[in-house]
A and B are shown apart, each in its own frame.
Chain A
Amino acid sequence: MRLSSFTMTSALGAGLDPTLAALRALRGGIARKRWETVDFETCVGEVGGLDTRAVRADLAAFDCRNNRLAQLGLEQDGFAHAVRAAVERYGRERIGVFLGTSTSGILSSEIAYRHRDSASGALPADHDYRNTHNAFSVADFVRRYFDLRGPACVVSTACSSSAKVFGSAQRMLESHLIDAAIVGGVDSLCLTTLYGFNSLQLVSADPCKPFDARRDGISIGEGAAFALVESAAHAAPGDITLTGIGESSDAHHMSSPHPEGLGARSAMQAALRMARLQASDIDYINLHGTATPSNDAAEHKAVTHVFGTQTPCSSTKGHTGHALGAAGGVEAIICALALQNDFAPGGIGTEELDSRLPCRYLLANVDRPMRHALSNSFGFGGSNCSLVLSKVPA
């Protein structure tokens, strides 16, 4: 499956240019602040300017932080133009929309619950549950933004959501239900995740430090990632293709990974199998690397079981924060950038690598020819997904 056009927006900036510049400069977007009405300081990877950017007027019913972020993302890198060209080529009914999100626009309901009628308990009359809070809202918004008429759904499997949508699109393409799809994910800051991850004591007081000996939790981020995907039959030299996807379940615990990383291991192995690649063919692994003690330890066990200790790897959550339901999409796009530009990105935030996690974790960028990259995304509920992205050789 070819990624005909792709873009991402995160705390690193809107679009690919600022993203690539930040990766090249080992510069992150996580900042300490008091966000919205949160009653403690926390380090977040926030996308700037969303408070003042309403969605397009004809889609005003969808206006909320999550869909504002979706629209900002869609307007970068000529992505909208590429979608409109695909509409010309295939027709509106032949283009699917499969997007991942974990919390959608729940921030709208969080705010509405502060303004309930004191007598009846009713929510404010202008609160639009369907078009903001409901998980489908972001796919519905994107579908209407381009006036598409094909299949659509949201995948919501916590932090693996926007990796798994690549699989949904691939299977729909193989079944000839569609000729192209918009895939990706959008997740935005909200009180549910800021207070929720705090309640689980999974948030670091400082910008997160993946694979660091003193790592102590995540930094929550937000982001939007989109790819227009079509059959790989159209791929030309230099194009980025999705060659493998592996999915599995831990069947272990709702909020802790399997300690041996069993589910993660089988997701990576399944992705390699579909891509018909050996572990040694992978030039770079973008780790899930959330920077909680248990997640990084379990992922390390799984990665070294499959790859040994010599495959270059890093987590880019030190750059963007953990964009939760958008993380899989964001990190797939970072892999695509790494492949296009022939470098393996180093992780940032990490000061002293954990000697208990021996692997080739990069703390600096490594320029090298890049052919295949693997991206891991693991979520609550034990939902695992690994993607293999490849560059078509000249």
Chain B
Amino acid sequence: MSSLQIHVDGMSLFGPGLSGWAHASEVLRGRTALTLAPTQLPPAAALPPAERRRVGLPIKLALALGFEAARHAGADPARLATVFSSTAGDCDNCHALLETLASDDRAVSPTRFHNSVHNAPAGYWSIAAACMEPSTSLCAYDATFVAGLLEATTQALASGQPCLLLAFDTAYPEPLYALRPIPYALGVAMVLNPVKTVKARASLALNLCHAAATSMPEPDLEALRTGIPAARSLPLMQSLAQGTGAIAVIEYLDSLNLAIEVRS
């Protein structure tokens, strides 16, 4: 099987002590130490005020990721097909709904209900970015990042147009936190272009494989990688930050992994 070739025009990364691509790439290159602290995000300024009041952390995270990656790529966000990949939806919202449904008064809030769909971030993004292009929203539990990367790559290759991938996760509060202990909100985004243009920051060759997943040398980053599905991407993001030829093997499903050769 020949590998899939795709070009990365722009990136974004927000997480604990990782505040946007410029800052996060310094951390990934080892020039700035990682200081773990709750994820800081810019306000969701692109949403109309009525919508802005209704959105929780995953939507703010997705908007921050998408707009930064589009800006970094010099792409118009209204023209990008999108793939949103996340292991759960809005976890705080889900918990609140479950508490209401277990109570004596099961009257759920209409806003909480429509925000409970897995594609709520995609819906708000389409409004904020005025984007009517195709969009999908995926889940593959711990394999969510590679699932999103394969979907976005094949979408870009099939359509001949760039596709914006956003992979992000947030944490449940207790009691579900005990069953799904995601330590911090973290997300990555990249604009994937099937055509190599002057905007290309790196080129990727993707191959399904059975090699062991690449780990992060720095213990705190490795803890993020293994603790947050979207952070399985960190070895790839590190290669993109370093800009040197490297192969990152990213964990996917069971023994099936994805080898990604990064060329500048």
A residues whose Cβ falls under 8 Å from a Cβ of B: 39, 93, 102, 106, 109-110, 113-114, 116, 121-123, 127, 129-130, 134-136, 139-140, 143, 149-158, 164, 167-168, 170-172, 174-177, 191-192, 195-197, 199-200, 247-255, 262-263, 266, 379-383
A200 to B113, CA, bound (A): 8
Cross-chain contact A252 with B98 (CB below 8 angstroms): no
Q: A39 contacts which chain B residues (CB < 8 A)?
A: 106
**In the complex where A149-B254, A195-B106 touch, is A157 in contact with B115 (Cβ < 8 A)?**
no
Top 9 nearest A-B pairs (CB, nearest first) are: A381-B123, A196-B113, A156-B118, A247-B134, A171-B154, A113-B102, A135-B139, A153-B147, A129-B179
Cross-chain contact B147 with A151 (CB below 8 angstroms): yes
Cross-chain contact B101 with A195 (CB below 8 angstroms): yes
**A161 shortest CB reach to chain B, Å:** 8
Cross-chain contact B88 with A248 (CB below 8 angstroms): no
A46 to B154, CA, bound (A): 36
Q: A140 contacts which chain B residues (CB < 8 A)?
A: 141
Q: B256 contacts which chain A residues (CB < 8 A)?
A: 93, 149-151
**B230 shortest CB reach to chain A, Å:** 14
Contact of B212 with A by CB under 8 A: no
Q: A255 contacts which chain B residues (CB < 8 A)?
A: 110, 114
- Closest-by-CB residue of A relative to B153 is A175
A379 to B119, CA, bound (A): 9
Identify which of residues 156-194 in chain B touch chain A, using a CB-to-CB cut-off of 8 Å. 157-158, 174-176, 178-180
Cross-chain contact A152 with B134 (CB below 8 angstroms): no
In this complex, which of B118, B124, B131, B154 has the most chain A Cβ atoms within 10 angstroms of its Cβ? B118
**In the complex where A134-B87, A247-B135 touch, is A157 in contact with B118 (Cβ < 8 A)?**
yes
**In the complex where A153-B140, A252-B127 touch, is A129 in contact with B180 (Cβ < 8 A)?**
yes
- Closest-by-CB residue of B relative to A190 is B101
Q: B124 contacts which chain A residues (CB < 8 A)?
A: 254, 381
Binary flags per residue of B230-252, CB closer than 8 Å to A gives 1, else 0: 00000000000000000000001
Cross-chain contact A156 with B147 (CB below 8 angstroms): no
**A300 shortest CB reach to chain B, Å:** 20
Q: A192 contacts which chain B residues (CB < 8 A)?
A: 97, 101, 108, 113, 116
Contact of B213 with A by CB under 8 A: no
Cross-chain contact A254 with B120 (CB below 8 angstroms): yes
**In the complex where A109-B176, A129-B176, A149-B254 touch, is A136 in contact with B118 (Cβ < 8 A)?**
no
A263 to B131, CA, bound (A): 10
Cross-chain contact B109 with A383 (CB below 8 angstroms): no
Cross-chain contact B141 with A123 (CB below 8 angstroms): no
* The residue from A113, A130, A152 contacting B101, defined by CB atoms under 8 A apart: A113
Cross-chain contact B87 with A156 (CB below 8 angstroms): no
Q: B109 contacts which chain A residues (CB < 8 A)?
A: 199
In addition to A171-B155, A381-B126, 12 A-B residue pairs with Cβ atoms within 8 Å of each other are A109-B98, A113-B101, A122-B178, A136-B140, A151-B147, A151-B150, A153-B143, A168-B136, A196-B110, A196-B113, A251-B130, A382-B127
Cross-chain contact A156 with B117 (CB below 8 angstroms): yes
Interface size on B, residues (CB 8 A): 66
Q: B141 contacts which chain A residues (CB < 8 A)?
A: 130, 134, 136, 140
Contact of B37 with A by CB under 8 A: no
**In the complex where A149-B256, A191-B101 touch, is A176 in contact with B2 (Cβ < 8 A)?**
yes
Cross-chain contact A154 with B114 (CB below 8 angstroms): no
A170 to B135, CA, bound (A): 16
- Closest-by-CB residue of A relative to B180 is A129
A71 to B30, CA, bound (A): 49
**In the complex where A123-B178, A129-B176, A175-B4 touch, is A250 in contact with B132 (Cβ < 8 A)?**
yes
Cross-chain contact B118 with A249 (CB below 8 angstroms): no
**In the complex where A174-B158, A379-B117 touch, is A155 in contact with B136 (Cβ < 8 A)?**
yes
- Closest-by-CB residue of B relative to A164 is B136
**In the complex where A130-B180, A136-B141, A191-B101 touch, is A382 in contact with B114 (Cβ < 8 A)?**
no
Cross-chain contact A249 with B140 (CB below 8 angstroms): no
Q: B135 contacts which chain A residues (CB < 8 A)?
A: 157, 247, 249, 383
Cross-chain contact A199 with B110 (CB below 8 angstroms): yes
Identify which of residues 64-107 in chain B touch chain A, using a CB-to-CB cut-off of 8 Å. 85, 87-89, 97-99, 101-102, 106-107
Contact of B208 with A by CB under 8 A: yes
Cross-chain contact B126 with A127 (CB below 8 angstroms): no
A152 to B137, CA, bound (A): 14
Cross-chain contact B154 with A172 (CB below 8 angstroms): yes
**B111 shortest CB reach to chain A, Å:** 8
Cross-chain contact B117 with A381 (CB below 8 angstroms): yes
A123 to B176, CA, bound (A): 8
Contact of B253 with A by CB under 8 A: yes
Contact of B205 with A by CB under 8 A: no
A-B contacts, 21 listed (Cβ < 8 Å): A39-B106, A113-B101, A122-B174, A136-B140, A151-B256, A153-B143, A153-B147, A156-B138, A157-B117, A158-B118, A175-B4, A191-B106, A192-B116, A247-B136, A248-B134, A249-B122, A249-B123, A249-B133, A251-B132, A381-B119, A383-B123
- Closest-by-CB residue of B relative to A171 is B154
Cross-chain contact A127 with B154 (CB below 8 angstroms): no
**B100 shortest CB reach to chain A, Å:** 8
A197 to B130, CA, bound (A): 26
- Closest-by-CB residue of A relative to B172 is A129
Q: A253 contacts which chain B residues (CB < 8 A)?
A: 127
